[in-house]
Amino acid sequence: MSTQQHPLGISFEFFPPNTDVGRDKLVGVRDALAEREPRFFSVTYGAGGSTQDRTLNTVRQVRESGFTTAPHLSCIGSEKGQLRELLARYRGEGIESLVALRGDLPSGMGGIGELRYANELVEFIREETGDHFEIAVAAYPESHPQAPNLDKDVENFARKMQAGANIAITQYFFTADAYFNFVDKARALGVEQPIIPGIMPITNYAKLARFSDACGAEIPRWIRKQLEAYGDDSESIAAFGDEVISRLCQRLLDGGAPGLHFYTLNQAAPTLRILDNITG
> Shortest Cβ distance from residue 44 to ligand FAD (Å)?
3
Catalytic residue numbers? 13
**How many angstroms separate the CA atoms of 10 and 187, rounded?**
22
> Shortest Cβ distance from residue 232 to ligand FAD (Å)?
29
Name which of 218 and 243 has its Cβ closer to ligand FAD: 218
Which residue in 197, 73, 218, 76 sits closest to 143, CA to CA?
Answer: 218
Which residue in 123, 162, 171, 124 sits closest to 144, CA to CA?
Answer: 171
Q: Which ranges constitute the DSSP H helices of 45-145?
A: 52-63, 80-92, 118-129
* Alpha carbon 68 to chain centroid, angstroms: 15
Burial class for 207, CB neighbours closer than 10 Å (0-12, 13-18, 19+): exposed
Is residue 129 within 8 A of residue 91, CB to CB? The reply is: yes
Taken in order 258, 263, 267, 269, the sign of the CA dihedral is negative
Name which of 104 and 114 has its Cβ closer to ligand FAD: 104
Name which of 36 and 54 has its Cβ closer to ligand FAD: 54
Is residue 93 within 8 A of residue 69, CB to CB? The reply is: no
Which residue in 217, 219, 150, 228 sits closest to 189, CA to CA?
Answer: 150
Chain positions contacting ligand FAD, by CB under 6 A: 44-45, 47, 72, 74, 99, 101-104, 117-119, 138, 144, 146-147, 153, 156, 159-160, 169, 171, 198
> Shortest Cβ distance from residue 206 to ligand FAD (Å)?
20
**How many angstroms separate the CA atoms of 241 and 75, rounded?**
34
Name which of 133 and 237 has its Cβ closer to ligand FAD: 133
> Shortest Cβ distance from residue 113 to ligand FAD (Å)?
12
Name which of 3 and 119 has its Cβ closer to ligand FAD: 119
> Shortest Cβ distance from residue 240 to ligand FAD (Å)?
24
Q: How far is the CA of 27 from the CAs of 62, 64, 86, 121, in angstroms?
A: 7, 9, 25, 31
